[in-house]
Structure 1
Amino acid sequence: MANSWQRLAIFIPSLNGGGAQRLILKLANGFVERGYCVDLVLAQATGPYLPEVPETVRIVDLKASRTLFCLPALVGYLRQNRPIALLSALDYANLIALWASGLARVSTPVVVSEHNTLSLALEHARGWHKRLLPTLMRWFYPQARTIVTVSQGVAEDLPRVTGLDGDRICTIYNPVITPDLREKAKAPLEHPWLKPGEPPVVLAVGRLVPQKDFSTLIRAFAQLRQHRAARLIVLGEGVQRPELEGLVRQFGLESDVSLPGFVLNPYPYMARASVFVLSSRWEGLGIVAIEAMYLGTPVVSTDCPHGPREILQDGKYGTLVPVGDEDRLAKAIEMAMTQEAVPPCQESWQPFEVDTVVNQYLHALVG
């Protein structure tokens, strides 16, 4: 148990987004339970997860209009509070955390964490990101105490793209499985499609962005729907909503496809769905697939880089299909619907338990 005066800081741009933000909240709560004071330092204190921050965690709002502009405020925070360690998440925030630490001239070690496959993210990046980000990471990431990646695939990709020393990189899975996850899954759910006696529901969860490739999922579902009754729910919000809604209309699926938007607690949907699908082109890990697997819902996932193959143990705990292959995806979804769901064994989700992961992060942060 840590002394109560020992302060850990976690820096992230905001609580907008998905997997990385949920990870941060679980880590913050885990650090508090170990006896640390925890500051959640945000460039902007915004986002749908803001009400989920535990009361035991102090929110520090740097009030910056953009993440880059919070650098002076972060320098001031480090000089004034001098946390025993600083954890940052996401590449741009990681760079700013390292710059702030250097400018503040404090002894606070910085641990940076990467949550996505950099090579593939850069393929879809615009502007200066594509040209400068790998160089900046190669120059400044060596100043970090440790570089954490959320999957082994991301750990292998990062040095290939940046030239970083692979020996400085360690893999720590996301803290997905928490004691309250099953309780959250039992929350009441009034969605009419998930009542007993209704056709089976295919569920997907994620931002409506090209990375998640929900257009391929909708096309696969259209094939499935031609010869069996089923429904598709996609929980999430994003820039591709108009495009995806247009695709639904194109296939005449308005009565069978629902895009309800962002849902703070997706677990009742996961627990009641017949099949969970991860259709991504790439991932850092694929948190939602772990959650669905833990709740006993059959998982069908693309074999995208990186994460799903690690999570599903080469197909042992779910079905893997090629990225962008709507025919194979449709067949895998139908097969998962017709097979009896098998409760997950503990070895399938133990690496993602919050206690395991919190201990690993504390080792990286404070030794």
Structure 2
Amino acid sequence: MKVKKSLVFFIPDLTMGGTLSLIKTLIPILKKHYNISIVVQEIKGQLSLDVPIYSLNTKNTILSVIKLNSYLKSEKIDIILSFMERANLISYVACKMTQIYCVLSIHNSPKYAFCKRTFLKRLMGRLLYKMIDKKTPIISVSKGISKELKNDYKLTNIHTIYNLIDCKKYVQNTSTLKTIQLLSYGRFVDQKRMYLLIEVAKFLKEKKVDFKMTLIGDGLKKDSLLDLVRKYQLTSVVFLLGEDSLSQSQKDAHIYMQCSEFEGFGIAMLEAMACGLAIIAVDCPYGPKEILLDNCGILIEDNSDKQIVEDMSLKVVNLIDDSTYLQNLSKKSLERSKDFDIDKISGQYIDVFEAF
């Protein structure tokens, strides 16, 4: 019997949103081929999967390199896949000291993400991209990110592998609610621009549209979003809920909405499509345009806040007024989501892992 290679997923912690969702989807199928473990810088968050989790118990970058290097050698790890810039930097340096096969993954545009980060984090990210050698494989989750890495940092060993989902997990929308149900979910942070959706709700209420809006997530902007809901007197139509409400909300919703300033390749949108929700999304870099091919969703031009709110609101009204159009978009979403199923994409990860 062929001995399985050992594979480590390295992430800062267990609260990484879409990244953690991706890991949870990958693990069951990759366990057939590899002995998998997870290494984090610190135990923060939870993961209910039957794999060992080891914590470095430090957020310090230099100490993390030393401790990760020690772990990789003591456990005789063959392959490490890291996520996010800090983890990528730590992993890259640690693996250079051990000659372990290191795969880096990039889930956001460096150009757009860096402008939102502290000086130290920007410096760390740029240092990483400048020091990567041409042999190190990089997994990028969108063609837009891959192009940016090639043009701005002259990186060449790039593999574009779209984020994936397990389509079998998702129940197709069965909502019989007459009131149109709008849904969005993700981290409540500046990047996601959830406040624009509350502005959309204000617009719709003023136009006397019959709707409910559910925003699911958590984050630094939660309190300011709640304040905005109260300010506009929308507490009867806009609801901010936790992740435990996601499954039921997906079943009840008709339309998924996304206003992000930038994305990598949004897993939340893929999940909504697998539930058969019609999609309305701002055409931000990158992701939405690559996902919503062949008019399988509605793209809104990334314009001023005021224009985005108006355009998105009018598209919601159009879908409410034209149930046939809404149903067609729902069917197209469901069909398109199959292109991102784990059975179609997971093999691309194995190809990268086996290339060393």
1:44 is the counterpart of 2:33:
no
Alignment counterpart, residue 326 of structure 1, candidates 290, 309, 316: 309
Which residue pairs with 1:96 in the alignment? 90
Distance 1:365 1:172 in 2: 13
1:15 is the counterpart of 2:14:
yes
1:147 is the counterpart of 2:145:
no
Distance 1:98 1:264 in 2: 35
1:212 is the counterpart of 2:211:
no
1:201 is the counterpart of 2:163:
no
Residue aligned with 2:171, SS:
helix
1:123 is the counterpart of 2:121:
no
Query: 227-236 or 36-45, which moves further after superposition?
Result: 36-45
Distance 2:91 2:231 in 1: 46
Deviations 1:218-258 (A, max 9, x none): 11121112221211110000111121112112211121111
Percent identity, aligned pairs only, is: 26
- What is the CA RMSD across the aligned residues, in angstroms? 2.2
Gaps of 5+ in 2: none
1:164 is the counterpart of 2:159:
no
User: Closer, same or farther in 2 for the Cα pair 1:210/1:85, shift >3 Å?
Assistant: same
Alignment counterpart, residue 344 of structure 2, candidates 325, 331, 356: 356
Q: Which AA in structure 1 matches 2:5? A: Q
**Is the 1:115–1:284 Cα contact (8 Å) retained in structure 2?**
yes
Alignment counterpart, residue 296 of structure 2, candidates 317, 326, 338: 317
TM-fit CA distance, 1:264: 4.4
**Is the 2:25–2:166 Cα contact (8 Å) retained in structure 1?**
no
Deviations 1:312-340 (A, max 9, x none): 115x1110002341100111122233333
Q: Which AA in structure 2 matches 1:321? A: I
Which residue pairs with 1:235 in the alignment? 216
Distance 1:109 1:176 in 2: 26
**Is the 1:213–1:280 Cα contact (8 Å) retained in structure 2?**
yes
Distance 1:222 1:67 in 2: 44
Which residue pairs with 2:76 in the alignment? 82
Distance 1:197 1:351 in 2: 29
Distance 1:114 1:40 in 2: 18
Distance 1:215 1:346 in 2: 28
User: Closer, same or farther in 2 for the Cα pair 1:117/1:129, shift >3 Å?
Assistant: same
Distance 1:211 1:27 in 2: 26
Residue aligned with 2:293, SS:
coil
User: TM-score scaled to structure 1, two decimals?
Assistant: 0.87
Which residue pairs with 2:166 in the alignment? 177
Alignment counterpart, residue 290 of structure 1, candidates 258, 270, 274: 270
User: TM-score scaled to structure 2, two decimals?
Assistant: 0.90
Alignment counterpart, residue 101 of structure 2, candidates 93, 100, 109: 109
**Is the 1:300–1:336 Cα contact (8 Å) retained in structure 2?**
no
Count of residue pairs the alignment pairs up: 345
Distance 1:68 1:240 in 2: 31
Q: Which AA in structure 2 matches 1:58? A: P
Distance 1:15 1:146 in 2: 24
User: Closer, same or farther in 2 for the Cα pair 1:68/1:288, shift >3 Å?
Assistant: farther
**Is the 1:86–1:365 Cα contact (8 Å) retained in structure 2?**
no
